[in-house]
Amino acid sequence: MPRGFKICSNCENPCGPRSFNCKHCGQSFKMNEPVEQKEPVVGQIEEGDYIRVKNGSGPYFIRNGEKIYYTQRGVFKVLAVKEKGLDVVGVGLKSTGYSFLYTGPDEKSPLCSSLVNSAYRIVKVRRPRS
């Protein structure tokens, strides 16, 4: 049998490694449960921590039904924890200067009807090398 193939428990025929059902008898294969991503809650972040902003998060505007994010990316050092966000300073190549990362609930912007203030998804990281 070629490497990586599965053996059907019902008909004992080999099947492809990514198949959900046996192509010979239709028996379904047992699949592993997806692993839930572990992300720190904003309440666990303190002054002096280093964080990274995940892609596809933060404020966005809607154009032709598509979300277009205007998100700062990279590694930041937390300067202050506020009620609806974090004051940060960029420490990586992609992130420079001071910024405010919104972490409150999603809400429409009072400035523009197509703009939505959405929370940044952030992850704690170790201190970057200097």
Q: Which of 24-38, 49-63, 85-99, 115-129 has the lowest mean pLDDT?
A: 24-38
User: Given pLDDT bands bounded at 50, 70 and 90, which one contains residue 122?
Assistant: confident
Report yes or no on 56 lying in a domain: yes
Query: Are 51 and 111 in a shared domain?
Result: yes
Residue 72 has pLDDT above 90, yes or no: no
pLDDT digits (tens, 9 = 90+) for 38-56: 555 667 888 999 988 887 7
Per the structure block, which two tokens stand in for 58? 């933060």
Query: Are 63 and 27 in a shared domain?
Result: no
Determine if residue 44 is left, alpha or beta; phi over 0 gives left, psi from -120 to 50 gives alpha, anything else beta.
alpha
pLDDT at 129: 64
Instruction: Print the domain residue range for 12.
Output: 1-32
Query: Are 28 and 69 in a shared domain?
Result: no
Query: Are 82 and 22 in a shared domain?
Result: no
Q: Domain tally for the chain?
A: 2
